[in-house]
Structure 1
Amino acid sequence: MIRTEQEYKKLKAKVEKQEQLLQEERKKLEEQGFTEQMIQIAIGFAENFHLNDKREVEEYERVMRGEFDPYTCKLGEIGTHLIKLRLWRGLTQSELANRMGVSNSQVSRDERYEYSGASMERIEQVLKALDIELMFAAPQIVEVAKGREEYASGQDEMAAAKQEKQAG
C-alpha cells in the first residue's frame, strides 16, 4: 500500500515506464511473428507486476479523492484503513505523529506493519488524531461451500437450529 506522496510519485512513474516498455516489447515480438499466445507467455509475468503496481496507484488516487467509506471497514483491514484515513485527511506521517505526541518513526513503523499488533488504545489514539469520532468495524465474512457467504459468527446456523428445535 502506498503510504506517502513520494511513494505515489515514484510508483506512478514506474507504472508509466513499465507501460511504455511493455508496449515496445509487444511490438518487437509481433514484428518477429510471434503469436498472441507466445507473446503472453513472454511478457505475462511482467504484465502481472505492472497491473499490480497500476492497481496500487489507482487505489491511492481513489483514497485521495475520498472514494471510500471512511467510517466503516472490515476488522481485519483496520490497519490499511487507518492509513487511508490519514491520506484522505491530507496528513503526512510526521503531522500525524505530532498530533499523537509520538515520534515520526513510531508512525512510520506502525504503518509499515499496517498497525499489526496495535492495541485498541493506539487505534483510538490514531482515530482521535484524525478527527474520526466514530468508526464501525464490519463483521468478517468467510467463504463456505458452494460459494455461500455467511457471517463468521455462525448466526445463520444458530437460527436454523433454533427453528428446527421449535418445529420438532
Structure 2
Amino acid sequence: MIKNEAAYQKALEKLKQDREFIVNEEKRFNDMGLNSEQIEMAIQPLISFHEQLKEEVKYYERIKRGSFNPIHKFTDIGKSLIAYRIYKGMSQAQLAEILNVSESQVSRDERHEYYGATTEKIEKVMKAMDMKTVISIEISAGTGA
C-alpha cells in the first residue's frame, strides 16, 4: 500500500519503467522466435505485477480525493485510518507528534494496518485526525432465535 507522496511518485516512475520493460521483453522474445502464446506466458508475471501496482496507484489517488471504501469488517479499520491520514495530508511524523509516540511506532502500526490494536489506540488515532465514529449494525434476515 502506498502511504506517502514520495512512495506515490516512485510508483508512478516504476509504472513507466515497467511499461517500457514489458514492451522490450515482448520484442526480445519475438526476436528469439517465440510465438504469441509463448510470449504471453513469459510476460504474464510482469504484467501481473504491473497491474497490481496500477491498482495501488489508483487507490492512493482515490483516497487523496477523499473517496473511501466503506468499512464492513473491524479488520478494515486500519486501512481506513491510513487512508484518512493520507487524505488529510498528514505525515506519520505529524501523527506521532499529536499522539505523543515515536514516528517508528506509527510506522509499525501502519505497516500492520493497526492489526491487534486496542480500541483505545484506534480511538486516540481517530481523535488525533478529527475523525468521527458512526457504527451501524445490521441483522441478517433468517437468523436469530
Compute the RMSD of aligned alpha carbons: 2.1
Separation of aligned partners in 1, 2:142 and 2:8: 45
Q: What letter is aligned with 1:107? A: V
1:10 and 2:10 are equivalent in the alignment: yes
Separation of aligned partners in 2, 1:93 and 1:137: 29
Separation of aligned partners in 1, 2:31 and 2:137: 52
Separation of aligned partners in 2, 1:61 and 1:42: 31
TM superposition shift of 1:137? 6.6
**Gaps spanning 5+ residues in structure 1: where?**
140-152, 163-168
Separation of aligned partners in 1, 2:94 and 2:23: 41
Residues 141-168 of structure 1 show CA distances to partners (whole Å, capped at 9, x for unaligned) of xxxxxxxxxxxx7x33326xx7xxxxxx
For normalisation by structure 1, the TM-score amounts to 0.76
Q: Write out aligned runs for 1:35-74 (5 A).
A: 35-69=35-69, 72-74=70-72
Separation of aligned partners in 1, 2:96 and 2:136: 24
Separation of aligned partners in 2, 1:61 and 1:114: 19
Match of 2:142 in 1: 157
Do the aligned partners of residues 85 and 138 (structure 1) sit closer, same or farther apart at CA in structure 2, a change above 3 Å counting? farther
Separation of aligned partners in 2, 1:136 and 1:33: 60
Residues 81-131 of structure 1 show CA distances to partners (whole Å, capped at 9, x for unaligned) of 110010011100011111212111111110011101100000011111111
Partner secondary structure for residue 73 of structure 1 = coil
Separation of aligned partners in 1, 2:81 and 2:136: 12
For normalisation by structure 2, the TM-score amounts to 0.87
Separation of aligned partners in 2, 1:156 and 1:102: 44
Separation of aligned partners in 1, 2:111 and 2:137: 23
Partner secondary structure for residue 130 of structure 2 = coil
Separation of aligned partners in 2, 1:31 and 1:135: 59
Do the aligned partners of residues 2 and 101 (structure 1) sit closer, same or farther apart at CA in structure 2, a change above 3 Å counting? same
Separation of aligned partners in 2, 1:138 and 1:80: 20
Q: Write out aligned runs for 1:110-129 (5 A).
A: 110-129=109-128
TM superposition shift of 1:45? 0.9
8 Å contact 2:62–2:68 — kept in the other structure?
yes
1:23 and 2:7 are equivalent in the alignment: no
8 Å contact 1:97–1:103 — kept in the other structure?
yes
Q: What letter is aligned with 2:17? A: K
Separation of aligned partners in 2, 1:98 and 1:64: 22
TM superposition shift of 1:25? 1.4
Identity among equivalent pairs (%): 37
Do the aligned partners of residues 137 and 94 (structure 1) sit closer, same or farther apart at CA in structure 2, a change above 3 Å counting? farther
TM superposition shift of 1:31? 4.6
Between Structure 1 and Structure 2, whose CA radius of gyration is higher? Answer: 1
